[in-house]
Chains A and B, each alone.
Chain A
Amino acid sequence: MEFLPRIIFILILGVTAWLIFKRARYINRNIYLGKSQDRTDHKSERLRNLLLIAFGQKKMFKRPIPAVLHLFIYVGFFVINIEVLEFVIDGIFGSHRFFASIIGGDGLYTAALNLFEFLAVLILISCVVFLIRRNVLKVNRFKGEEMTHWPKLDANLILVFEIILMSAILTMNATDTLLQARDERYVATGSFFFSGLLTPLFQDLSTPTLVIIERATWWLHIIGILAFTVYITYSKHLHIFLAFPNTYYADIKPKAEMRNMPEVTREVKSMLGITDTTAPDHAAPEAPGEGMEIGRFGAKDINDLSWKNILDSYTCTQCGRCSSMCPAWQTGKKLSPRKIVMDVRARAEEVGNSLDSGGPGLEDGKSLFRDYITEEEINACTSCQACVEACPVMINPLDVILQMRRYMAMEESSSPQEWQMMFQNIETSFAPWKFPPSDRFNWAESLRENKES
């Protein structure tokens, strides 16, 4: 009979591992629906970004209050994982407070648990403040048409989840402390400060009731954590894992620099009669239909974007710092950089789900551009890079926007009329305005008047 909980625990652990493995494979496949793009250069700069921006939370501290609250949860998450390890060992081997039975319940063990409890309380407080910020204070960046329904529920569920997990651990310690005095099978530890504040609530309960509460909160905490981990793979909360690779693989180039399109370079060079030594294949004849296989110019759907654009979308935790800094969004335009990123993920999942159920995948008659993201959004961007600068995990919404502009201009010629005029002016007058090129140097006339003398 005493094996039963252990068998159940191992089964739950196994099922969780299998579910997470399947979800990880699914997400990985969706990310690689995007085009390949080499991001293995500049290793030391990438490592630096990983350490400072992901581990060090550097960019979070542009807004100190949420940064500190977030830091509590972040540090708590890391440190309390040590205790989760003990939970897993206890669950598999049927031990109780395994580490305490090895190193002794007082001293270091009690100190560590007091630290965990302290962090648990900080997490609790932070989550409550975050719930208030989201639902009562109505912080502007949590608003927006993309922040209704599931994204709004998701955000609240995560916070409630964490509050339940932390309450469980404190309740468990409080009842365990009481049981230590009543039953010697409970490993004796020193006293815990925070759960000690809760013991008066439980001290009048009978021993069997305390045992039930202690066990129930133990199971609630560990199953909660396992369930939460699976939940995360469906949630915006994925940033707790993906922030690290996303920061590592983020752009190293200056923010204003746009990536070159080598396929265009080849064509332009051959049009201008420049021999291209960098592209040996430029002489190969190109059949008209072949362009489609190479890929289209710019991005219409997620497979035109790079894998990093899709990784960006899975890393996004919808904090809205990008949109709150966006000049277009601030003046009420339809563009919200956060929505652009969220749309990329939504479309990647739509295509992924379709592929998994034997559906048409990308060939479903829909596309990211138009079905998710409209021209009006794309055309509102000033390319000011405020969104790129604002993102604490180095997501680049601008890159997606600019690739869609390329699709509009080069595949559809559907750029706004005024831009088409501007293109024409550059083509004919070599300036975006319609001035005769021969007038280009007229500005100097007043300065050069005495030139002959």
Chain B
Amino acid sequence: MEYKVPTVAELAAAGETPDVLFWVGCAGSFDDRYKNVTRAFVKILNKIGIKFAVLGTEESCTGDPARRAGNEFLFQMQAMSNIQVLNGYEIKRIVTACPHCFNVLKNEYPALGGTYEVMHHSSFLQQLINEGKITMKGGGEFKGKRITYHDSCYLGRGNGIYEAPREVLEALDAELVEMKRSKAKGLCCGAGGAQMWKEPEPGFPDPKKAKDINVERAEEALATGAQTIAVACPFCMVMLSDGVKAKNKENEVNVVDLAELIDRSL
């Protein structure tokens, strides 16, 4: 099948605006593993026939990692220029697969003059499922399979989105199993707050107790016996994939994004 990935600029040249802008994010654009999630989501958008567009090379970092690491100047420089682009194209609705981009676009851009209707792809997919626009193939790939969902901090605690990703997984007819720490009590993957871009600070000096956060979380996910660990964040994906690898389980257990699960079941 042929997929269209129109840019906002292309639409604008034809005098059109998209119904929704897909904000790809830096991980979605550059991380080899996560690019598959971006493509999966675009395929879904194509199959459903939503009039969407991306910014392409006009997209730029939201500034979130700079802000979390304390560099407010850099954050606001990024935010302001992004807002100029978005407002220039008269963008009204944005969907993104990255909870960090989601949080910043939704909650933090309004104070700088950028107010949009922003959705995370989990809420977006849930809405499409509820509206009947996404229907899974009968007996899809994940029917009856055991899946556990890892809450992203910036979706769950940060923005109260706990149910949307779970409803998406339930639509797969999968057996959803919860980890010991989930929802509001969910354990971070270890990448938030710009930790993604640095080595963790030293932990327990005792080598028997020493463990990185992502390994701790991966152990908890593996303990559920699920073959699939569903995530909804590019950084959680990196951290948990590494954690699963550290436990030598990468051949048995997959770390997969919600969009990939839906795309494979369509």
Contact = CB atoms under 8 A, between A and B. Distances in A.
Nearest to B155: A256
A426 B154 contact: no
A447 B38 CA distance: 11
Interface in B174-211: 184-188, 190-205, 209-211
A447 B201 contact: no
Interface stretch (A31-39, A263-271, A358-366): A263-271
Contact of A419 (B28, B69, B73): B69
B74 A423 contact: yes
B157 A331 contact: no
B158 A256 contact: yes
A383 B70 contact: no
A433 B70 contact: no
A416 B198 contact: yes
B72 A426 contact: no
A410 B66 contact: no
Nearest to B204: A332
Interface stretch (B57-65, B124-132, B243-251): B57-65
A453 B65 CA distance: 40
A382 B201 contact: no
Contacts of B112: 260, 265
Contacts of B70: 298, 402, 404-410, 415
Contact of B30 (A264, A334, A431): A431
B24 interface: yes
Interface in A310-328: 325, 327-328
B201 A334 contact: yes
Given A402-B68, A423-B71, A254 B198 contact: no
Interface stretch (A123-131, A183-191, A435-443): A435-443
B72 A410 contact: yes
A350 B217 CA distance: 40
Contacts of A416: 198
A402 B198 CA distance: 16
Interface in B212-234: 212-213, 216
Contacts of A89: none
Interface in A388-404: 388-389, 402, 404
A267 B24 CA distance: 29
B252 interface: no
B188 A382 contact: yes
A253 B2 contact: no
Given A256-B153, A384-B153, A416-B198, A435 B193 contact: no
B71 A264 contact: no
A416 B68 CA distance: 13
A381 interface: yes
Contacts of A269: 80
Contact of A383 (B29, B66, B193): B193
A450 interface: yes
A142 to B, nearest CB: 18
A254 B107 contact: yes
A335 B198 CA distance: 16
Contacts of B195: 382
A331 B193 contact: no
A447 B3 contact: yes
A421 B209 CA distance: 31
B43 to A, nearest CB: 8
Interface in B30-65: 30, 35, 38-39, 42-43, 54, 56-57, 59-61, 63, 65
Nearest to A269: B80
Interface string A370-383: 00000010011111
A254 B187 contact: no
A426 B73 contact: no
A380 B200 contact: yes
A328 B195 CA distance: 11
Given A269-B80, A328-B213, A383-B192, A256 B26 contact: no
A430 B203 contact: no
Nearest to A446: B39
A294 to B, nearest CB: 14
19 contacts: A255-B158, A257-B107, A260-B112, A267-B73, A298-B72, A327-B213, A327-B216, A333-B200, A333-B202, A376-B201, A381-B193, A382-B213, A383-B68, A402-B68, A422-B197, A423-B71, A430-B78, A431-B30, A440-B57
Interface of B: 2-5, 7, 24, 26, 28-30, 35, 38-39, 42-43, 54, 56-57, 59-61, 63, 65-74, 76-78, 80-81, 84, 103, 107-108, 111-112, 153-154, 157-160, 184-188, 190-205, 209-213, 216
- Lowest 7 A-B CB distances belong to which pairs? A256-B158, A332-B204, A383-B193, A405-B70, A409-B70, A384-B188, A418-B198
